[in-house]
Amino acid sequence: MTILLFALWGSLVALNILDGHSTWKVLRPKQLNREKNPLARWIFSRLGVVWGIVVSELLWIGFITCVFFLLLRGSNPLALKILLGLLALGNLIFLALVINNYLVWRRIRKRDSQDGD
């Protein structure tokens, strides 16, 4: 089960990095109105898109990592099952976010290329 937990944690970290990349693709150049999360939009308006993404992703990945190792450390079977469920849910949520972001980016690119013709 430990290997599965580490694999899910690693994929969640990777999905968070892809979330940052896909968010940057959708929001550049200076299109903060496209961001649906008001907290993220506020952070991006204060720090800029790139630094806002870096800071928010580092904080989120740090939080995920702390929870992961705190629950893993005890090796309590119930805690491990809870951790497995949380990681699986987090992976599904972030996979949906990343797919949506890249689909939005593709629609934006398509629209912009049609406007330029």
Using an 8 Å Cβ cutoff, are 95 and 20 in contact?
no
Q: How many Cα atoms sit within 13 Å of 94 on the Cβ side? A: 25
Mean pLDDT, each 10-residue run in order, the chain (117 residues): 90 95 88 85 90 92 89 81 91 97 93 76
What does the chain come to in residues? 117
Range of the domain at 40: 2-116
pLDDT at 72: 81
- 62-82 pLDDT, tens digit per residue, is 999 998 888 888 778 888 888
Count the domains in the chain: 1
Phi-psi region of 75 (alpha: psi -120 to 50; beta: other; left: phi over 0): left
Q: According to the model, what pLDDT value does residue 9 have?
A: 93
Contact between 92 and 15 (Cβ < 8 Å): no
Instruction: Give residue 69's pLDDT.
Output: 86
Q: Determine contact, residues 103/26, Cβ cutoff 8 Å.
A: no
